[in-house]
Amino acid sequence: MSGLSVSSSSSLVYGPYANLPQDMIREIVSHSDPMTIVKMSQVCRAWRAAFPEKFWYDLSDTLGVPRVISSDGKPRNLREDFNKLYPITFVSGEKIRKFLGDPVGPVPPIKEEVFNMLDKLDPWESILRLKLWEPRKKIRQTFVLVVDYKSIKKAIDENSHQDLQDMVKPIESSVHSSSSSSTITNEFEKQENEDEIPLTFPNLVTLCKHPLRGEENGPVFAEIDRYILSNYNGCPEETSVFLMRKCVVEKNGDSFFLEKERLIADKGFYITSLKVRSLFDAICILSSGNCPDNRNLSTYAYTGYMGIAWGGRYVMRIGNFAPGFGSCVLGCSGGRDLDSFGVVPCIQGGGSCPTKGI
């Protein structure tokens, strides 16, 4: 791209792209990596003019990356927001589409106060780091954004695996004897909805058995508690965004689950739900063949409790992943535990679903 210059009276880019319309320039560079496009737009005023605010708005929507909603109503620099949010949005619409299916619905924006947290120090980094002379890391280095979609769309027909077909429930047509036309099934409505799959935990488990890509890195799940699989099936009413720590904190064997929960609640966070943590681990495994909750680190992540079972709290946990084996999703009482049990701090960044997710 040598030889680029800018005319003071025009926003056109000269040199290799002389006299090309800006929409054609955008089409050419749209095949580049998103962060490369960010760097292109920072070259000069002409390149910046080729990528107006609407471009970054549309790019965020296309990739399923959240935007930031201003607390005072003032417009934000969408390019700078994208530059900071794209690298840390690990579970995005782009990743869901690549491995599981087409995400349904828009991604809600995150709150400005959550966005501003990214440059603050990780409050747990000083506890866990082994080399005390190293600088403490910031939240944007140790946390990721997880977009928890309400549902996805996936092509499923009679040739698909049976457990995939079982996820899709046909729409029942209502029959009223008072109307002769009431017996007609609305085939268009059925066709429109037959491949939309609620992204519940049981459905996530099934989708990970038959991913669009990354099957060679599986399996994702090895052992799953039947009680959890049968009863933990809630689905969010809409898509939400969560700011979640990559790794567990406070792997302290001399503490109860509730003590670990209070540890992070005191800092304004809460424990990541099983659904959100499982989604993160699944994308990690399908894309790389590993995840932070792995056997090498002897790690299990507590993911909250599911009501009362057998006379006490039924605390869920996920971890002990090993390549070729998968992750374990188990239940326990939440009493004093092994050093390998920890919690993952999380905070809801966007969406109006219940604060602690599903």
Structure tokens at 87: 């690298």
36 and 97 both lie in a single domain: no
Q: Is residue 219 part of a domain?
A: yes
118 and 44 both lie in a single domain: no
25 and 154 both lie in a single domain: no
93 and 31 both lie in a single domain: no
42 and 132 both lie in a single domain: no
pTM of the model as a whole: 0.81
The domain tally of the chain equals 2
126 and 38 both lie in a single domain: no
12 and 135 both lie in a single domain: no
31 and 102 both lie in a single domain: no
**Coil, strand, or helix at residue 130?**
coil
100 and 26 both lie in a single domain: no
135 and 277 both lie in a single domain: yes
283 and 185 both lie in a single domain: yes
Per-residue pLDDT tens digits of the chain, which is 358 residues long: 333 333 333 344 444 455 556 666 666 666 777 888 788 777 777 777 778 888 889 889 999 999 999 988 889 999 999 999 999 999 999 999 999 999 999 999 999 999 999 999 998 876 555 556 678 889 999 999 999 999 999 888 777 778 777 777 553 433 333 333 333 334 333 344 447 899 999 999 999 999 999 999 989 999 999 989 988 888 778 999 999 999 888 554 445 667 777 878 888 999 999 999 999 999 999 999 999 988 765 578 888 776 655 556 678 889 999 999 999 998 876 555 554 577 889 999 876 654 443 3
Q: Is residue 140 part of a domain?
A: yes
Enclosing domain of residue 320: 88-169+180-350
Q: Is residue 240 part of a domain?
A: yes
Q: Is residue 63 part of a domain?
A: no
Q: Is residue 338 part of a domain?
A: yes
Q: Is residue 73 part of a domain?
A: no
45 and 192 both lie in a single domain: no
Q: Are strands 196-198 and 151-153 parallel, antiparallel or unpaired?
A: antiparallel
How far apart, in whole angstroms, are the C-alpha atoms of residue 275 and residue 174? Answer: 34
